[in-house]
Structure 1
Amino acid sequence: MRCRIEKLVQGGDGLSTTDEGKRLFIPETLQGELVEARIVQQKAGYALGEVTSIIEASEERIHPPCPYWGICGGCDFQYAHSDAQGRIKEQIVLDNLVRLGSLDLETIGVEPVETGPAFGYRNRVRFHVDLGTRQVGFLGKKTNTLVPITSCMVLCDALNALLADPQPLFAAARKLMFANRKGKGGYLEVPVFASDSKLSFFGEEVVATVGHRQFIVSSEVFFQSNPYLLPSLGEYVAAHALGDVVMDLYSGVGTFSAFLEQEGRHLIAVERQKQCLDMARRNVGNCEYYTQAVEDWAKGRSVQVDTVVVDPPRTGLDETLPSLIASWKPKRVIYVSCNSVTLGRDLQRFASEGYTVRKVKVFDLYPQTFHHEVVAILDRGGFEV
């Protein structure tokens, strides 16, 4: 059947409509394209399809440059021109926020997408190792089969050097084997973080420079993997924080706290992972720290705070948290999200507590993939800066 792609949705699938009025989701397509497709799976309210040929291609379509495209499951957006990817992801984000968060784009400030290098940017990775065949790579597309990789276009030079000479990965994998820590597909998963001057395997601490700040991190804690855009993200959050008391929820190793720190300001950081908070205490000295799940820490707590920064996991905020945050009456909430679907849902909850979205900005931290970071700035009631 012939299908016109109306728009792209969360995860990158193209949306079309069948002659019967059923929604049809087709991966690896771009808005406006006319494609020949077939249905591969029928669902109750929609169908899943796949492209058999492209009749009218978008001007933004390119041939994926990676030799592992379609085999490796790592990158899913290489068929779009790098210069267009950020804008396309912004359209997906805004569509989610309008549909799920009831945002009126006429009344908020949508700031330009922040972009950076399209390749060679990633400094954190989880390699899959097969000691039996002495192969290193990533899992295949929609499979748990190892795809041997000799070079990855999105990895930084230091991580690509491990693919060229994987002996350090084999040594690390042997340690995991003796600890019986196999991952998906039975392969050994070796996390590695490339810092300024050395590699971190497992919990080995290294120093990573972000803008003018330095952070103690390791491959076993979460730290954003794009050093080119992370300074802009941190500075954007810090530039919109108000007042003398600022709270950083889901603070991790103190990434945002470090940018928020300033003379005379009282910082409060909450993070459930003790390992992260131990590093945060060394990354940001002038801060009041709590090692506890954010939801548990917030229950029944009465605090006076001017700005609350939240950077939750992909699942978003616990349904009780927006009302708990609102009870502290912060003038501003800064919501950093890696999932605009759960962000849209949570913005609705904040709206019911009297908070209005003033600005939205997308950061294309993960080029060649559909992953994104988005920051929403919310103000209480009629308050506006």
Structure 2
Amino acid sequence: MINSVIGPVEVGPVAHGGHCVARHDGRVVFTRHALPGEQVMIRITDTSHERYWSGDAVEILQPAPERVEAPCRFSGPGLCGGCDFQHVELSHQRELKRRVVAEQLTRLAGFDWSGVVEEVPHPMVANGGGWRTRMQWHADESGRWGLRAHHSHRVIAVDDCHIAADGLPEISGTGQQAVTVLAAHGETALLVDGELRTHTGAVHDQLQRTITQEAHGRSYAVADDGFWQVHPAAAEILVAAVLDGLAPQAGERALDLYCGVGLFAGALHDRGVRVHGVEGGRRAVELARRNVPGARFTVGRVERTMRTLAKRADLVVLDPPRKGAGRAVMREVLARRPRAIAYVACDPAALARDLRTATDAGWQVSELRAFDLFPMTHHVECVAVLTRADAETR
């Protein structure tokens, strides 16, 4: 059945994960490269799940009005798997993401959201491209550099990437298998098979293997292989959303959970807040202490460390990995009865599950914003603000 083509099939609604829901002979087929309402032929790519199959729309019999020609020639069925929505007009990409966020919040959190996915302009970003400041390139069997196919280790030779902040650089030497390109302030550093190299005079520290990033009037040292938001405007806009949602006051106490190198801790500290950050990565905490010397930081898994932290906090920031904070962490946070909680999420399903834990405990979502920080892909970043239902809202 793999690689067989079925259809014509009418495409149903967009679903979380970069595909649409289609049905053929009563079976759900999660279909990439399609749009709701289209008539398509589908090539089956996966039948390993009993309840559904996966496939690619390989022939568009009746296109949706929002369909456009992909700006990247490496995008499409069987090609580079990095982008989900290159075939979709940009404003409609945000509409599809809005539908996904709203559906996940309604179904998993019981929360009706009527917001929009906000466009995030930046000088580096044009036609939905040029925003990804960290790229990992791989070598194929012939030594050509490229990117991987969807859910595969197969390398698709690519000599240019529409969403990359910098194209594939000239890489000297032979035998390398992977290279990570990190762009900062319009310059670039390379991490080639684990070794940091310079390229076009990048801002970096050879001894400490860090690269400098800036946000909200502060500079942050970040490990060359550490986490930093990949969209050049992301750190700034997320900090602004968190500060707006929390309205921090000097003298308040805050927990910054999954704090990384101290992005939100730095912004809160600058407002006079006493911050205690928690992060599982030792190297990230070392850098957080260097970046925000006025705050306190603890190395440890958040779910374990919470038991050792102060039992009260005025504010909490959560910026968990894609899987979310989870019920145990959320209950520990809520038990501290903070005035407000800001939850930064890159996965709307995980966000919705954690919001449900809070609302079931008597909290309310007082604000939720969504940002299009990953154009051409299905990914979306959200910032939710929680307050106690019995507290006076802003």
Query: What TM-score results when the alignment is normalised by the length of structure 1?
Result: 0.86
CA contact (8 A) 2:102 2:112 kept: no
Question: Does the C-alpha gap of structure 1 residues 269 and 142 become closer, same or farther in structure 2, counting only changes over 3 Å?
Answer: closer
Please give the residue correspondences for 1:365-384 in structure 2 after superposition, counting only pairs within 5 Å: 365-383=373-391, 384=393
Match of 1:181 in 2: none
Letter in 2 for 1:361: R
CA contact (8 A) 2:216 2:267 kept: no
Match of 1:329 among 337, 353, 360: 337
1:278 & 1:300 partners in 2: Cα distance? Answer: 20
1:240 alignment partner, SS class: helix
Match of 1:149 among 152, 158, 172: 158
Match of 1:138 in 2: 147
Question: Does the C-alpha gap of structure 1 residues 28 and 334 become closer, same or farther in structure 2, counting only changes over 3 Å?
Answer: same
Please give the residue correspondences for 1:162-311 in structure 2 after superposition, counting only pairs within 5 Å: 163-167=168-172, 170=173, 188-196=177-185, 197-199=187-189, 201=191, 202=196, 204-241=209-246, 242-243=248-249, 244-299=252-307, 301-311=309-319
CA contact (8 A) 1:310 1:334 kept: yes
1:38 & 1:68 partners in 2: Cα distance? Answer: 18
1:198 & 1:29 partners in 2: Cα distance? Answer: 35
Match of 2:357 among 333, 338, 349: 349
Letter in 2 for 1:119: G
Residues 1:94 and 2:83 aligned together: no
1:343 Cα deviation (Å)? Answer: 1.2
Name the % identity.
28
2:358 & 2:73 partners in 1: Cα distance? Answer: 45
Query: How many equivalent residue pairs?
Result: 360
1:216 Cα deviation (Å)? Answer: 1.0
Provide, for residues 243-274 of structure 1, a one-character-per-residue CA deviation record: whole Å limited to 9, x for no partner: 41121100001112222223431111101111
2:270 alignment partner, SS class: coil
1:76 & 1:317 partners in 2: Cα distance? Answer: 26
1:224 & 1:288 partners in 2: Cα distance? Answer: 22
Letter in 1 for 2:236: P
CA contact (8 A) 1:257 1:284 kept: yes
1:349 Cα deviation (Å)? Answer: 1.1
CA contact (8 A) 2:38 2:64 kept: yes
Question: Does the C-alpha gap of structure 1 residues 74 and 104 become closer, same or farther in structure 2, counting only changes over 3 Å?
Answer: closer
Question: Does the C-alpha gap of structure 1 residues 3 and 129 become closer, same or farther in structure 2, counting only changes over 3 Å?
Answer: closer
Match of 1:125 among 119, 135, 139: 135
1:281 & 1:26 partners in 2: Cα distance? Answer: 46
1:218 Cα deviation (Å)? Answer: 2.9
1:222 & 1:17 partners in 2: Cα distance? Answer: 39
2:308 & 2:234 partners in 1: Cα distance? Answer: 37
CA contact (8 A) 2:14 2:21 kept: yes
CA contact (8 A) 1:124 1:219 kept: no
Letter in 1 for 2:274: H
2:365 & 2:96 partners in 1: Cα distance? Answer: 22
CA contact (8 A) 2:95 2:116 kept: no
1:339 Cα deviation (Å)? Answer: 0.9
CA contact (8 A) 1:112 1:361 kept: yes
1:43 Cα deviation (Å)? Answer: 4.3
Query: What TM-score results when the alignment is normalised by the length of structure 2?
Result: 0.84
1:352 Cα deviation (Å)? Answer: 2.0
1:38 Cα deviation (Å)? Answer: 6.2
Match of 2:74 among 51, 68, 78: 68
2:152 & 2:117 partners in 1: Cα distance? Answer: 36
Letter in 2 for 1:205: T
Provide, for residues 38-69 of structure 1, a one-character-per-residue CA deviation record: whole Å limited to 9, x for no partner: 66638443343443532321121111121211
Letter in 1 for 2:108: L
1:151 & 1:307 partners in 2: Cα distance? Answer: 44
CA contact (8 A) 1:11 1:370 kept: yes
1:78 Cα deviation (Å)? Answer: 0.7
Provide, for residues 277-325 of structure 1, a one-character-per-residue CA deviation record: whole Å limited to 9, x for no partner: 1111122222111111111111254422111110111111133111111
1:114 & 1:288 partners in 2: Cα distance? Answer: 34
CA contact (8 A) 2:98 2:116 kept: no
Question: Does the C-alpha gap of structure 1 residues 380 and 226 become closer, same or farther in structure 2, counting only changes over 3 Å?
Answer: same
Identify the structure with bigger relative contact order (alpha carbons < 8 Å, sequence gap 6+): 1
1:140 Cα deviation (Å)? Answer: 2.7
